[in-house]
Amino acid sequence: MKHIIFAAALAAASMSAAHADINGLYNTGIGASGSQDSHYSLLAASSDTPISNILPYITDSGYPVGTWVPNSGDSKWITPTSNQAQSFDASADGIYTYTLTFNLSGYNPATAWFSGRLASDNTVQVLLNSHNIGSANSYGNWTTFGASSGFISGLNTLQFVVTNEALSGGNPTGLRVEFRESNVTAVPEAETYAMLLSGLALMGVVARRRRSK
């Protein structure tokens, strides 16, 4: 009996403590400079430059980085093409959507949250499952963002929609994202519930027997 009660207590503890970071929240620019960032997909609607690649490129420390928030070991800027200094959108604004997906299967989406910071050239709107959760309009400073609701079971989608404002020259564009903290609670497996219920039932039987003596 002691073993069953102990197992039930252990099951209860595991149900209350099964917290984890959210897998799949990748900072931008994880990888070698000059390579493509496979964690993010790119949908580019440049006003003057055809862009066929579906993955953005990771920058090095050259221009415009430095004017932009400098790269670090935690994250780097990503850009639409391998030429990070390329000028875009001479006569009309361009729209560049960077998409990151993560999966919450096996977790309770109502308990999920994350916080982070980002920068963009020029402006960015952040969408979680099509709902706006933040924005930024600076490439020289960080802007904080995050979410504590709006998550769903299974696949979740984060979109960073960057608008590059029209300029006749010297008009690069890029995105920088760093996730600082995140957490989500696992959904207990059926066996855990069964163990807990069995232990509680047994403790109830023991309590009734003691009262009847």
pTM to 2 decimal places: 0.83
Alpha-helical runs (H) found in the chain:
2-17, 190-212
Whether 180 and 199 share a structural domain: no
**One domain, residues 91 and 181:** yes
Do 192 and 96 sit in the same domain of this protein?
no
The predicted structure's pLDDT at residue 12: 42
My answer on whether 1 and 102 are in the same domain is no
Strand order in the sheet with 41-45: 41-45, 94-103, 155-164, 123-128, 131-136
Task: Check whether 191 has a pLDDT greater than 50.
Answer: no
25 and 2 both lie in a single domain:
no
pLDDT at position 156 is 99
What Å distances lie between residue 88 and 10, 133, 199, CA to CA?
Answer: 59, 27, 65
- Domain limits at 136? 21-187
Tell me the backbone φ, ψ of residue 41, rounded to 5 degrees: -105, 160
My answer on whether 122 and 44 are in the same domain is yes
Tokens 């855990």 correspond to: 192
Average pLDDT over residues 128-148: 99
Same domain? 179 vs 204:
no
* 83 lies in the same domain as 9: no
Mean of per-residue pLDDT scores for the chain: 88
Tell me, yes or no, whether 153 and 48 share the same domain.
yes
> Omega into 108 within 30° of 0, i.e. cis?
no
Q: Can you give the CATH number for the domain in which 168 is found?
A: 2.60.120
Domains in the chain, number:
2
Q: 4 or 116, which is more confident?
A: 116
Same domain? 142 vs 177: yes
Give the model's pLDDT for residue 18. 76
CA 139 from chain centre, in angstroms, equals: 20
Same domain, 199 and 146: no
- Asked if residue 41 and residue 11 are part of one domain, the reply reads no
Q: pLDDT tens digits, residue range 148-176? A: 999 999 999 999 999 999 999 999 999 99
